[in-house]
Amino acid sequence: MNIVVLVKQTFDTEEKIVVRGGQVSSEGVKLIVNPYDEYALEEALRIRERAGGGGISITAVACGPEQSAEALRTALAMGADEAIRIEIGSEDDSAAVAAAVAAVIQPLAPDLVLAGLFAVDTGSGSVALQVAQRLGLPHVSAAVKLDLAGGTLVAERDAEGDAVTVEVPLPALVTAQQGLNEPRYPSLPGIMKAKRKPLRVVNRSELAGLGVDTPSPKAVRATVDAAAARAAGKRIAGDPAVQAAELVRLLHDEAKVL
């Protein structure tokens, strides 16, 4: 069984993000594996463990510049068998990324493709959906539980707070929601082994050989602006009647909305 996990390197959203010149500054920013992609990778590892470890190959795939190899090395340290980094030069364009990823993983004949529900840096979650469409795979989004039985996948997915159980044939593509599992930390032996595991780079000329030309971007990020500072709020004291009267006065006299 071949499992492909789509991985993206993102900045750590727990850190302070600085916007300079209409772009997020990368200076001093800590880069991590997209947390939702970690859920996807952890689930692939657990599927292999439940199967006894044999006969299941896990390939981590990322689309990005040379520094994104760090995310793939983390995936290898967690337990992936091999990794592929794809260079296209337009990682902000989800259509271009999906076209490249689909072309690269199609020859692997994956039985299951796993990805995060969305990327925390952009809030976008369209790449995996486009990959599923390009490969003609059934797709299950926001999975919080997965079970494999023969050639069938049964998933419980988060549907805006409700749980929906769906069944699809393999091969299939699934995106992971928070709560699917608790990702492991790479072990020291895993980190050492990762240095010896294969990490292949697919450049633009190789993509052209797979029938993927450098496309005209369908989406271009023009600028990024920090949220405007807001005035401090006010706390109204007193009993409910006093609070209501004061709120009406403020809305009328200061906010000018009444």
Task: Enumerate the β-bridge partners of residue 163.
Answer: 158
Residue corresponding to tokens 């049964």: 154
3-state secondary structure 148-194: EECCEEEEEEEECCEEEEEEEECCEEEEECCCCCCCCCCCHHHHHHH
pLDDT for 113 = 98
**pLDDT at residue 215 is higher than 60:** no
**pLDDT at residue 68 is higher than 70:** yes
Residue corresponding to tokens 């299950």: 140
**Which of 101, 166, 172 lies closest to 136 in space, CA to CA?**
172
Which whole-number Å values give the CA distances from 161 to 33, 38, 142, 143, 186, in the listed order?
Answer: 26, 22, 11, 12, 31
Query: Rounded to an integer, what distance in angstroms lies between the CA atom of residue 184 and that of residue 112?
Result: 21
What average pLDDT does the chain have?
90
Give pTM, 2 decimals.
0.84
Q: Is 123 left (phi over 0), alpha (psi -120 to 50) or beta?
A: left
Which band of pLDDT confidence, cut at 50, 70 and 90, is reported for residue 164? Answer: very high
Which band of pLDDT confidence, cut at 50, 70 and 90, is reported for residue 211? Answer: confident
Q: What is the CA radius of gyration of the chain?
A: 22
Higher local confidence (pLDDT), 28 or 142:
142
**pLDDT at residue 80 is higher than 90:** yes
Q: Are strands 199-202 and 82-86 parallel, antiparallel or unpaired?
A: parallel
* Percent above pLDDT 90 for the chain: 67
Q: Which domains does the chain have, with CATH numbers?
A: 2-209 (3.40.50.620), 233-258 (no CATH)
**Which of 211, 196, 198, 191 lies closest to 84 in space, CA to CA?**
198
